[in-house]
Amino acid sequence: MPKPVLSVFPRDDSTTRVYAHIDRVGASTSPDFVLVHGIGMSHRYFRRLHARLAAAGNVYSIDLPGYGGNRRPRASMSVRDGAVAIAATLDAMGLRSCVVVGHSMGAQFAADLGILRPDLVSHLVLIAPVVDPRHPTALGHALPMMVNSLFEKPIINAIEFADYVRCGPRWYFSQLREMTTHSIAGRLALVTMPVLVLRGARDALVTRQWSTALAACVTGGRAESIRGGAHVIQYSQPKRVAAAIARFLAPTAV
């Protein structure tokens, strides 16, 4: 994979500059795919999906402030702050009308980006979006995540552990508060572009009922379960995830 490009953008609420890097693979043709990671994570757990989506276009993976070795902002980053950071980075790259794919908390960032800057987003793909109202608290979130780890491949658990260590407990728990107080269902009611909600059939954190309810928040929204996967289906089942995205985009984009 090519060496990541470093993109720099300012915080909108201070003079502090924070950083995000973008991995780019694939052809020079459209569509442009933008992949947004979840809490504690980085671009690394998108690598297998990169290779699949690269057959259709360019793939960019953003490491948000405080993640993937990036410097942490002075204050906790809200979901809107994350969306602003993504928008500024895409502006710097000259990108428009992207297929934005968000995983877990990344689905929250992606949905808010679609509301804040619809010119940047042609389609939204929300993979394992949180927070399912059956698990609304940090403690309620923890047990299903532990159950999910039993169904994930060891390499996925290893990547997650290493990224959590890089993120650090202070930043992780500040972001956990932001995640569990954000209502993605309420925000999706304001989204105007097509939305696909994907979950792993074994995901103990994101239920079928929840993913179906989220898709119903958007006119023409679609929900699909991926066989053989738990929470991190973009790594465990990249071929099936890419195929679901292709069906969602057909016939106009892929």
Range from 39-48, 51-60, 191-200 carrying the lowest mean pLDDT: 51-60
Task: Give the span between the Cα atoms of 85 and 67, in whole angstroms.
Answer: 13
Domains of the chain: 5-249 (3.40.50.1820)
Return the bridge partners of 62, or none.
22, 36
Residue 37 identity (one-letter amino acid)? H
pLDDT of residue 54: 84
Q: Quick one: pLDDT at residue 69?
A: 80
Is it true that the peptide bond before 251 is cis, omega within 30 degrees of 0? Answer: yes
Q: Which of 42, 37, 239, 232 is nearest to 148 (CA)?
A: 232
pTM of the model: 0.87
Residue 243: its pLDDT value, please?
Answer: 96
Q: Where are the alpha helices (DSSP H) in the chain?
A: 47-53, 79-93, 105-116, 138-151, 154-167, 169-180, 184-188, 208-216, 233-236, 238-249
For residue 143, pLDDT beyond 90? no
